[in-house]
């Protein structure tokens, strides 16, 4: 089969998207490539189809066992000869996979980097006809990236051991320095680069200032995502456990995930997230890389990510099916203190610390934007965008700004006159003229700045300090106390030589009541939509998935079920025209789903 026939007959899609066709043609012809494509943009097909079309086995380097397992199962469902080599296999199973690869009975073999570079596997590959090497999640090779994996550094050996086998490195997240690092580390200097747009237009980006974060999260879930699958990211393991327990108490089907849990517990929770409907995973960043679940409707951050790359990667796990999804984050000054403290006290060298602090500053700047978030996010990756995207909080509800010059001067003066030794909460008490024993003990009730800020409330002052820190006009000491200090940029503001405009934080407006579970944010055509048929199809999919112990989306994605509801296929030929229905899935599942549709139509006619 050629690449177009493979796309249609194996994967059930009528046409390629974006640069898929160009990447695939280049790889089939034997060329090396670096592919940057957004999550959900179809990166996997860029190596899966060439591996099927070319002679030999396509070897896929994948960092996570769970990802390998789900991708292999998905390929097998489509009739592709796929297998993996990892630590979950028995010795007999390993021998069977190795024998299948050696005799050419596999199209794709998924391998973890550490196993790939073992002498046993390298000797196996030397005896095997190879179609290509695909290095997935290639940003893991960069020490400046957000998911650095040291074992990836050795993958340049593939070029030396197998110089005639094409290599394709793929990632969804890499700024220009990380791209250069990937090329250098993997020896891809002559590789062709394919950089697709980073935009995920179906994702709505929102950032809210912290003000009782749990209540804010609950409001977000109640109004937009009650009953939906999602991920809530927290910085610490303890916060993950506490948040998951609290959410369960509020009636949310939430599970914790972090490196401190036993491996069997992590695996069980990940399996439930993948295979059940409406599970919310509360996790540290230990969870998520390579998650292939298409119907994650939201990603919420209760703590600030370390960089825009990490933020983009984590939020990209929402809405892989192209349906509307949310990237929602709450943040405050305390996260800035915590993250700066983590960077400064890490074992990294000074050069890397400077890079990480610059990345954190860029993340802070993103949070404090008064303009389109998507435009700034894309600009970080070198991509231009319109002034307004129409699908972020700042575009949907434009932010107002105010002249905060005097407030900034008062704040800076208070920092200076109190000796640059106190955190924001204490400074706000001084500015507002609170009568406390601590203020009297230090004699700060006699300072000129005592009480000069009584016109603003605590929330407004927290906003002022937060924005001054985000702009580098004040800094937070990493002494463990969060002391606020002046910076080299403070002078012009203190003297009144520079005007300071700030975004005005507003209390969130209650969102519209959520739609019933199962109804999408952007519902299908009401003239063709039938909620009863939708639920019947989902029920049958769940039954088939449970019988095979696979995630429901491996059978069919929600988008394919929606098309069944809209088009009501009656014959196998009609069914084969649905997106996502290849020859193998037509044979395996056509009769089942056609019977569900026919039974529903008959019941509707009689009712």
Beta strands in 396-498 (DSSP E): 401-403, 474-476, 484-486
pTM as predicted? 0.79
* Domain C-terminal end among 396, 427, 444: 396
CATH number, domain with residue 583 = 1.10.150.80
Buried b (16+ CB within 10 A) or exposed e, 201-216: ebbbbbbbbbeebeeb
**In the predicted model, what is the mean pLDDT of residues 114-122?**
90
Cα–Cα distance for residue pair 367/206, rounded to 1 Å = 9
**In terms of domains, do 145 and 32 share one?**
yes
- The answer to whether residue 510 is domain-embedded is no
In a domain, 228, yes or no: yes
**According to the model, what pLDDT value does residue 521 have?**
42
- 339: pLDDT strictly greater than 90: no
- The whole-number pLDDT of residue 519 equals 36
pLDDT computed for residue 288 by the predictor: 66
pLDDT greater than 90 at residue 527: no
* 518 belongs to a structural domain: no
**Calpha distance 80→553 (Å, rounded):** 17
Q: What percent of the chain has pLDDT over 90?
A: 64
Phi, psi of 490 (to 5 degrees): -75, -35
How far is Cα 487 from Cα 292, in angstroms, rounded to an integer? 44
The residue written with tokens 């702009």 in the block is 471
The separation between CA 492 and the C-alpha centre of its own chain, rounded to angstroms, equals 40
Place of tokens 């407004």: 460
Domain annotation covers residue 517: no
Assess if residue 509 is contained within a domain. no
525 assigned to some structural domain: no
Same structural domain for residues 376 and 495?
A: no
pLDDT the model gives residue 475: 87
Is residue 597 situated within a structural domain? yes
We report the CATH number of the domain holding residue 409 as: 1.10.10.10
At residue 509, the pLDDT reads 43
Shared domain for 422 and 386, answered yes or no, is no
What is d(CA 286, CA 288) in angstroms, rounded to the nearest whole number?
7
**In terms of domains, do 30 and 87 share one?**
yes
For residues 242 and 367, state if they share a domain.
yes
Residue 273 pLDDT grade (very low, low, confident, very high; cuts 50, 70, 90): very high
pLDDT in tens, 73-89: 999 999 999 999 988 88
Residues 361-366 have a mean pLDDT of: 89
Q: What is the pLDDT of residue 250?
A: 95
pLDDT of residue 522 exceeding 70, the answer is: no
Amino acid 440: pLDDT: 95
Residue 488: count of CB within 10 angstroms of its CB? 9
Mean pLDDT score, 453-477: 91
Residues 99 and 181 reside in one and the same domain: yes
**How many domains does the chain divide into?**
4
**527-547 mean pLDDT:** 90
Same domain, 237 and 153: no
Write the CB contacts of 498 (distance below 8 Å, at least 6 apart in sequence): 405, 492
- Rounded to 5 degrees, φ, ψ at 407 are -65, -40
Q: Quick one: CA dihedral 235, 241, 244, 245, positive or negative?
A: negative
Q: Are residues 85 and 225 in the same domain?
A: no
Tally of CB atoms within 10 A around 486: 17
Domain range spanning residue 133?
3-195
Res 189 pLDDT > 80? yes
Beta bridge partners of 330: 208
Q: Within this chain, do residues 242 and 94 fall inside the same structural domain, yes or no? A: no
| CB-side neighbour CA atoms (13 Å) of 107 | 18
Same domain, 139 and 212: no
In angstroms, the CA 31 to CA 488 distance is: 51
In Å, what is the CA distance from 242 to each residue of 245, 247, 324, 339, 397?
5, 9, 29, 20, 32
Which is higher by pLDDT, 558 or 509?
558
Residue 399, pLDDT > 70, answer yes
Q: How confident is the model over 129-151, as a mean pLDDT?
A: 80
pLDDT band at 146 (very low <50, low <70, confident <90, very high): low
Same domain (yes/no): 369, 233:
yes
pLDDT at 481 over 90: no
Residue 147, pLDDT above cutoff 70: no
According to the model, what pLDDT value does residue 142 have? 75
pLDDT of 480 reads: 57
Is residue 318 scored above 90 in pLDDT? Answer: yes
State residue 512's pLDDT score: 41
Q: Is residue 375 part of a domain?
A: yes
Mean pLDDT for the chain?
89
Highest mean pLDDT (candidates 31-40, 137-146, 212-221)? 212-221
């Amino acid at each position: 089969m050629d690449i177009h026939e493979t796309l249609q007959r194996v994967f059930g899609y009528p046409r390629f998207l974006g640069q898929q066709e160009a990447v695939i043609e280049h790889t089939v012809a034997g060329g090396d490539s670096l592919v940057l494509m957004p999550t959900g943009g179809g990166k996997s097909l860029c190596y899966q189809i060439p591996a099927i079309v070319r002679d030999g086995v396509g070897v896929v380097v994948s960092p996570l066992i769970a990802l390998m397992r789900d991708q292999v199962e998905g390929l097998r469902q489509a009739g592709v000869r796929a297998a993996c080599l990892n630590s979950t296999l028995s010795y007999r199973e390993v021998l069977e996979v190795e024998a299948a690869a050696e005799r050419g009975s596999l199209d794709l073999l998924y391998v973890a980097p550490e196993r790939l570079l073992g002498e046993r596997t390298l000797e196996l590959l030397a005896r095997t006809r190879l179609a290509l090497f695909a290095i997935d999640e290639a940003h893991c090779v960069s020490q400046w990236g957000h998911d650095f994996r040291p074992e990836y550094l050795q993958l340049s050996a593939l070029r030396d051991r197998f110089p005639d086998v094409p290599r394709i490195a793929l990632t969804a997240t890499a700024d220009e320095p990380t791209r250069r690092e990937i090329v250098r580390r993997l020896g891809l200097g002559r590789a062709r680069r394919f950089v697709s747009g980073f935009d995920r237009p179906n994702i709505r980006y929102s950032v809210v200032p912290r003000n009782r974060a749990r209540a804010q999260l609950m409001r977000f879930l109640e109004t937009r995502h009650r009953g939906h699958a999602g991920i809530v990211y927290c910085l610490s393991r303890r916060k993950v456990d506490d948040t998951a327990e609290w959410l369960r108490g509020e009636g949310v089907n939430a599970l914790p995930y972090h490196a401190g849990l036993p491996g069997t517990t992590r695996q069980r929770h990940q399996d439930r997230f993948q295979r059940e409907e409406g599970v919310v995973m509360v996790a540290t960043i230990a969870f998520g890389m390579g998650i292939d679940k298409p119907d994650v409707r939201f990603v919420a951050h209760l703590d600030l990510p370390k960089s825009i790359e990490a933020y983009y990667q984590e939020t990209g796990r929402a809405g892989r099916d192209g349906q509307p999804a949310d990237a929602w984050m709450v943040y405050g000054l305390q996260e800035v203190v915590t993250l700066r403290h983590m960077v400064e006290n890490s074992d990294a060298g000074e050069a890397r610390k400077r890079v990480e602090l610059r990345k954190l500053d860029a993340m802070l700047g993103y949070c404090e934007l008064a303009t389109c978030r998507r435009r700034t996010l894309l600009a970080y990756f070198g991509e231009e965008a319109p002034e307004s995207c129409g699908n972020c909080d700042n575009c949907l509800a434009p932010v107002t700004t105010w002249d905060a010059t005097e407030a900034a001067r008062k704040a800076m003066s208070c920092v200076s006159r109190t000796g640059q030794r106190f955190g924001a909460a204490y400074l706000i008490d001084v500015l507002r003229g609170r009568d406390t024993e601590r203020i009297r003990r230090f004699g700060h009730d006699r300072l000129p700045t005592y009480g000069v800020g009584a016109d603003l409330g605590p929330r407004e002052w927290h906003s002022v300090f937060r924005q001054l820190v985000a702009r580098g006009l004040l800094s937070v000491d990493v002494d463990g106390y969060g002391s606020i200090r002046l910076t080299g940029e403070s002078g012009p503001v203190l003297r009144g030589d520079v005007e300071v405009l700030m975004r005005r934080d507003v209390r969130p407006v209650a969102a519209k009541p959520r739609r019933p579970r199962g109804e999408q944010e952007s519902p299908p055509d009401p003239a063709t939509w039938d909620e009863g048929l939708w639920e019947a199809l989902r029920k049958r999919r769940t039954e088939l998935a449970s019988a095979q112990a696979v995630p429901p989306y491996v059978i069919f994605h929600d988008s394919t079920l929606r098309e069944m509801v809209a088009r009501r296929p009656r014959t196998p030929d009609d069914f084969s025209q649905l997106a996502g229905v290849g020859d193998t899935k037509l044979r395996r599942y056509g009769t089942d789903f056609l019977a569900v549709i026919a039974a529903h139509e008959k019941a509707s006619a009689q009712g």
